[in-house]
């Protein structure tokens, strides 16, 4: 039985997978569900999963922040299926693995309809755990570094229980993900479900929505459009940015390995928002101005993953440095905005 290195061990054997898995003469493909697969990380994960000819990939998405455009290369492919579905409603399909990503991730989007955000995290995760229980599928939840809230421990390792405001404007997301983690472990202990939990730290890369509102996409779009980079006060708050290909690699290693997690997946390179703005200015538009603007409530002051567990248990660490990842994202944004680099 998989463990996370402590006492959260299931007392039940896992549910039986489909009889097809045991068929002697039938070499079945692995049927993999990706919820939120039309979004930023989800669509890159789908690209990677589809590279394996033994995989059939099913995406469910309600297109709140995702788009069919992110999956256009797979629509019509015989091993790929796209379903418009909201995870707050039950889903009856047959699957072997579930990557459960569905949830708006950008603060401006998750705060837009907070009740829906918490429903997505709680009812959506319950529904996907129900599906895992019925089918015997292994399920991976994309949790977040926001479960650590405004952390009093730095860097954050997985033993830290966090410092989260339960009634703030971010709570629909961070408390929602904390409940989702609780549900995962309760289904594991009570029903023997095979679970995996990734605590993702700020991830960036091509295909982020241009008006997503997150800091890297904001700064890159602003630099390309010659608009001032909006550093929210005080500007000394830190984040650690992971390039999306590293993230997808970490998620797949976690899913296919033996450890339940939670495991931090992120890049420990830590930057203040002012430093990030300086990097974007230098790499993308040396003429652009940097301005400070008001911040939003409960913004975490520091964030950096301790990735010892990911290194030891998954043999994973990020490869792409921020200064190499930013230009790759710039290229994608320039293409979509139709603004080429000044000579
Ligand atoms: N990108 C990050 O920095 C980051 C950090 C921590 C955790 N995460 C987690 O990773 C996952 C993916 O994040 P992302 O950056 O790709 O965000 P995203 O907003 O691009 O993708 C989320 C996807 O989920 C879909 N979705 C939202 N609510 C849904 C619902 N009720 N039913 C069905 N589909 C729904 C959206 O339409 C979108 O396609 C999320 O669970 C997020 O919490 C991301
Ligand atoms: O990695 C995580 O765990 C979480 O990180 C992000 O949340 P946050 O770090 O607040 O993301 P941003 O909105 O990109 O903000 C990062 C920092 O940049 C600052 N910021 C943001 C936007 C901007 O234009 N300027 C700016 O200085 C914010 O004040 C904040 O301090 C994600 O949006 C969450 O989905 C995710 O779960």
C-alpha distances (whole Å) from 131 to each of 90, 98, 279 are: 8, 9, 44
In a domain, 186, yes or no: yes
Q: How confident is residue 27, by pLDDT bands cut at 50, 70 and 90?
A: low
C-alpha to C-alpha distance for 122 and 103, rounded to whole angstroms: 10
Do the domain assignments include residue 15?
no
Ligand 2 atom with the smallest distance to the CA of 231 is 27
What pLDDT, in 10s, does the model give residues 144-154? Answer: 999 999 999 99
Structural domain span for residue 109: 21-204+242-265
Q: What's the mean pLDDT when you consider all of the chain?
A: 94
Tell me: pLDDT of 2 over 70. no
Ligand closest to CA 240:
2
209 lines ligand 2 (CB under 6 A): no
**Whether 220 and 196 share a structural domain:** no
Return the SS3 of 42.
helix
Q: What's phi and psi for 280, nearest 5 deg? A: -65, -45
pLDDT of res. 5: 46
Cα(33) to centroid(ligand 1), Å: 14
- According to the model, what pLDDT value does residue 29 have? 79
Among residues 27, 252, 29, the alpha carbon closest in space to that of 142 is found at 252
Q: Kindly state whether residues 82 and 231 are assigned to the same domain.
A: no
Amino acid 24: pLDDT: 63
Report the residue among 41, 140, 170 best suited for mutation to probe ligand 1: largest number of ligand atoms under 8 A from its CB. Answer: 41
pLDDT for residue 1 is more than 70: no
Q: Quick one: average pLDDT of 179-193?
A: 97
Query: Considering the domain boundaries, does residue 5 fall inside one?
Result: no
Locate 137 and state its tokens.
């599928």
pLDDT bin (cut points 50, 70, 90) of residue 25 is low
How far apart are the C-alpha atoms of 141 and 200, rounded to whole Å? Answer: 10
Give the ligand with the smallest distance to the CA of 87. Answer: 1
Domain shared by 61 and 73, yes or no: yes
φ/ψ (deg, to 5) at 263 = -130, 130
Tell which one of 70, 88, 100, 105 to mutate to probe ligand 1, the residue whose CB is within 8 A of the most ligand atoms. 105
- What mean pLDDT do residues 164-183 have? 97
Q: Residue 45 falls within a domain, yes or no? A: yes
Q: Where are the alpha helices (DSSP H) in the chain?
A: 40-50, 107-110, 114-135, 171-191, 215-224, 244-256, 273-284, 308-309, 322-337
Do the domain assignments include residue 86? yes
Q: Which two tokens stand for residue 254?
A: 């976690």
Query: Residues 103, 131: one domain?
Result: yes
Ligand 2 in contact with 218 (CB < 6 A)? yes
Q: Tell whether ligand 1 has an atom less than 6 A from the beta carbon of residue 264.
A: no
- How many domains does one find in the chain? 2
C-alpha 215 – ligand 2 centre gap (Å): 6
- Specify whether 119 is located in the same domain as 33: yes
pLDDT in tens, 115-143: 999 999 999 999 999 999 999 999 999 99
Asked, for residue 16, whether it belongs to a domain, the answer is no
In this structure, which ligand is nearest to the CA of 124? 1
Domain contains 92: yes
Helices 322-337 and 215-224: crossing angle in degrees, nearest 10, is: 60
What crossing angle do the helices spanning 114-135 and 171-191 adopt, rounded to 10°? Answer: 20
Q: Is the pLDDT of residue 3 over 60?
A: no
Are residues 223 and 165 located together in one domain of the fold? no
Q: For the domain that residue 62 is a member of, what is the CATH number?
A: 3.40.50.720
Residues 285 and 182 in one domain: no
* Span 160-183, average pLDDT: 97
Residue 11 lies in a domain: no
pLDDT at 61 over 90: yes
Q: Examine the pLDDT at 307 and tell me if it is beyond 70.
A: yes
CATH code of the domain in which 220 resides = 3.90.25.10
User: Other C-beta atoms within 10 Å of 297: how many?
Assistant: 9
Q: Taking the CB of residue 123, how many other CB atoms lie within 10 A of it?
A: 15
pLDDT for residue 288: 97
Same domain? 225 vs 84: no
**Whose alpha carbon is nearest atom 7 of ligand 1?**
144
User: What is the reported pLDDT for 26?
Assistant: 59
pLDDT at 10 (0 to 100): 72
Say yes or no: 125 and 225 in one domain.
Answer: no
Residue 53: strand pairing partners: none
Q: Are residues 158 and 284 in the same domain?
A: no
Same domain? For 120 and 61 the reply is yes
Interface predicted TM-score of the whole assembly (ipTM), two decimals? 0.97
Do 293 and 252 reside in the same domain of the chain? no
Residue 28 has a pLDDT of 62
pLDDT per residue as tens digits for the range 221-272:
999 999 999 999 999 999 999 999 999 999 999 999 999 999 999 999 999 9
């Amino acid at each position: 039985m998989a463990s996370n290195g402590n006492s959260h061990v299931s007392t039940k054997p896992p549910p039986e997978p489909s009889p097809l898995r045991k068929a002697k003469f039938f070499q079945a493909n692995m049927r993999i569900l990706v919820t939120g697969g039309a979004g930023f990380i989800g669509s890159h994960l789908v690209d990677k999963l589809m590279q394996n000819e033994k995989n059939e990939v099913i995406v469910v998405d309600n297109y709140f922040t995702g788009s069919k455009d992110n999956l256009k290369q797979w629509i019509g492919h015989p091993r790929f299926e796209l379903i418009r579905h909201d995870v707050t409603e039950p889903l009856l399909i047959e699957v072997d693995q579930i990557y459960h990503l569905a949830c708006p991730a950008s603060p401006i989007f998750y705060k837009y309809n907070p009740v829906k955000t918490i429903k997505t995290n709680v009812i959506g995760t319950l529904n996907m755990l129900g599906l895992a229980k019925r089918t015997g599928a292994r399920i991976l939840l994309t949790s977040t570094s926001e479960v650590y809230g405004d952390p009093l421990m730095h860097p954050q390792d997985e033993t830290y229980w966090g410092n989260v405001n339960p009634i703030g404007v971010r709570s629909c997301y961070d408390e929602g993900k904390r409940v989702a983690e609780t549900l995962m472990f309760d289904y594991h202990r009570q029903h023997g479900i095979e679970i995996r939990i990734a605590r993702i730290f700020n991830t960036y890369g091509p295909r982020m929505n241009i008006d997503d509102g997150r800091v890297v996409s904001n700064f890159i779009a602003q630099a390309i459009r010659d608009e001032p980079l909006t550093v929210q006060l005080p500007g000394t708050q830190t984040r650690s940015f992971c390039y999306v290909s590293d993230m997808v690699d970490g998620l797949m290693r976690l899913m296919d390995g033996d450890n339940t997690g939670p495991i931090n997946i992120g890049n420990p390179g830590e930057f203040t928002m002012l430093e990030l703005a300086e990097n974007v200015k230098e790499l993308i538009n040396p003429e652009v101005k940097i301005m400070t603007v008001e911040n939003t409530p409960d913004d975490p002051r520091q964030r950096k993953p301790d990735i010892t567990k990911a290194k030891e248990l998954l043999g994973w660490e990020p490869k792409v440095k921020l200064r190499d990842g930013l230009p790759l994202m710039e290229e994608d944004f320039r293409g979509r905005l139709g603004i080429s680099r000044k000579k």
